[in-house]
Structure 1
């Protein structure tokens, strides 16, 4: 992701102007955006003009619009973001309040404006804009082995037969589902974030079956468990951070930070990954507890 300009206050308002340079950058942009945010971009709109004959002709005009987001759709096959919302700036062709759909594609600049840039959004932006070598798996494999020989990196040289090249349809976390289908690969990537999510969700389900008082789900039950400092592992989907209500988003951001501050683990599940989809069926938030809390059964979810 190329960052053209950024001007924001942590936990306050501001904007970032950026250009997606590859398909994964669109996935990053999708995760940065939330209902209620504002996006400014060039677009095309069909307008009607008075014709010389007295009738009206349709014409497509290029213009710049800023909309307040009401829906965000990521088409990973077409590598495009479709953003629908109401126009918020006066324009000769589109009135304030009229609906429009912006399409954000690779190499097309746009500006994202938020009322609140919380710590999760800022961290994601920093990760996306960190410079990194852009290699295909084959190029990187070749580069790695050559560098290992040149610098005599014995751990790599001695274990090169264990390096696996795996094809996926994309290069982001949600594509790990294609990799995780192979048990041998799962074993080799056991320390990755996606694999940690899979293991944590499995552990949560096992706890629900064997010791249900040490597992809970739903915002209210998780909140009560946290008040008693009982959360060992927090499981939460990234969808909850796209809530249109800013105080609600802030509540979940603060919860993640607070769980970590008291020594717990917080795992943010991708909604595009199979484990994230499964967690979403349980309200999108759950927890494995340090000790039993049977009294949660008496609290409405």
Structure 2
């Protein structure tokens, strides 16, 4: 069946296609999302114009369609971030034991286990240690291959690569990775050396990642994570508003004007604005974000569920730190003059004469 939200604005209708059996009915309790709306395409199960409710459940396919051009870059980015495992991860972790390693990516919303590696290592005997050394080499070699395959070490958004273990395994793993990077002239990996953090944990299991994230080493490494960055830049904006107000603009109209002049160095925008019921307004904000990014500016999208996002919402939900000072009054006067000039040109084109004073 086809569904479109009854509250959708004209020209921005969304439709979802789902199996009729997915409509509201008694089922076992499960995570689900209920949507209701008016039927726009009649079929054997529902009549045209009737109101209907669907249950969207986990692990059940649903198709969501919008008219051509309806999916903007912000919406697509969110879908991709939610669907691609580890997308947007700021921390990679290798939880090690002797002969075992678990590779993980930690993003804002989840921990993704990429691979569990087990390599048997014979015990080290006083009479014969060669078997132990060979097993250890096999373990390190397999671990390094898995590391290259799973850990996006050269990605700028990845802030830290944690090697965590109970004993001293982490030291051996780190030394082997760096030695292989040098031997194979892996320059991106060598450049990422400062991202590595060795952390002690009590057991070589994934649940020990809780210990990892609380460790002082990681806290220090993650000062520039997404949310920390948002807080830092919002604080910078407030200080600039007091000391250098010509470079600190806020409010939709003023920020749009700054964007038109290519003056935005950092755009601070609340995700609330992308949920506006007015599709024209949403498209304006999306266009502004894309324009700032194309001109090399930084865009920080604040979540209204976090403290920094709520603070930004008190400033209309949008603000900008400019790369050079602009006087709001001067810019507004220039805009008025430009509009008046445009109106005069239109009148001349239409054969209308401007009134002449005696």
Match of 1:114 in 2: 66
Contact in 1 for aligned 2:240/2:247 (Cα 8 Å)? yes
- Whether the aligned pair in 2 keeps the contact of 1:234 and 1:259 (CA below 8 Å) is yes
User: Which residue of 2 is the match for residue 7 of structure 1?
Assistant: none
RMSD: 4.1
Mapped pair 1:38 → 2:15: yes
Q: How does 1:49-88 map to 2 (within 5 A)?
A: 79-88=31-40
Q: Does 1:247 align with 2:280?
A: yes
Any conservation in 2 of the 1:186–1:195 contact (CA below 8 Å)?
no
> How far does residue 120 in structure 1 lie from its aligned partner after superposition?
2.8
TM-score (norm: length of structure 2): 0.50
Offset of residue 94 of structure 1: 4.2
Q: Secondary structure at the match of 1:96?
A: coil
Which stretches in structure 1 are left out of the alignment for 5+ residues? 1-34, 46-59, 63-77, 168-178
After TM superposition, give the deviation of residue 235 of structure 1 in Å. 0.9
Residue 214 (structure 1) aligns with: 247
The equivalent of 2:199 in structure 1 is 161
Change (3 A) 1:279 1:87: farther
Check the 8 A contact 1:221/1:296 in 2, yes or no: no
Give how far 1:157 is off. Answer: 12
Residue equivalent to 2:56 = 104
Is residue 141 of structure 1 aligned with residue 141 of structure 2? no
C-alpha distance after superposition, 1:87-115 (max 9, x if no partner): 32324564433444433232122111112
Structure having the higher strand fraction is 1
Moved over 4 A (4+): 91-94, 137-140, 148-151, 154-158, 182-186, 296-299
Gaps of 5+ in 2: 1-11, 97-101, 104-116, 118-139, 145-171, 179-192, 202-207, 333-358
Q: Which has the larger radius of gyration?
A: 2
Shift of 1:183: 9.0
8 Å CA contact 1:36–1:244 kept in 2: the answer is no
Q: How far did residue 61 of structure 1 move?
A: 8.6
User: For structure 1, which segment, 241-250 or 223-232, has the greater mean C-alpha deviation from structure 2 after superposition?
Assistant: 241-250
Question: In the comparison of the two structures, how many residue pairs are matched?
Answer: 222
In structure 2, C-alpha distance between the alignment counterparts of 1:248 and 1:291, rounded to whole Å: 27
Report the 3-state secondary structure (helix = DSSP H, G, I; strand = E; otherwise coil) of the residue aligned with 1:293. coil
CA–CA separation in structure 2 for the residues paired with 1:38 and 1:271: 27
Question: How many Å separate the matches in 1 of 2:71 and 2:57?
Answer: 23
SS of residue paired to 1:107: coil
1:184 is displaced (CA, Å) by: 7.6
Q: Normalising by structure 1, what TM-score?
A: 0.58
CA distance in 2, matches of 1:208, 1:217: 9
Pairwise CA distance, 1:286: 1.1
Structure with greater contact order relative to length (CA < 8 Å, sep ≥ 6): 1
C-alpha distance in structure 1 between counterparts of 2:273 and 2:304, whole Å: 10
Cα distance per residue 1:63-109 (max 9 Å; x no partner): xxxxxxxxxxxxxxx85434333232324564433444433232122
Shift in Å, 1:220 = 0.4
Tell me, in whole angstroms, the C-alpha distance in 2 between the residues paired with 1:209 and 1:98: 56
Residue 233 of structure 1 and its aligned partner are, at CA, apart by: 0.6
The CA distance in 2 between the partners of 1:92 and 1:221, in whole Å, is 53
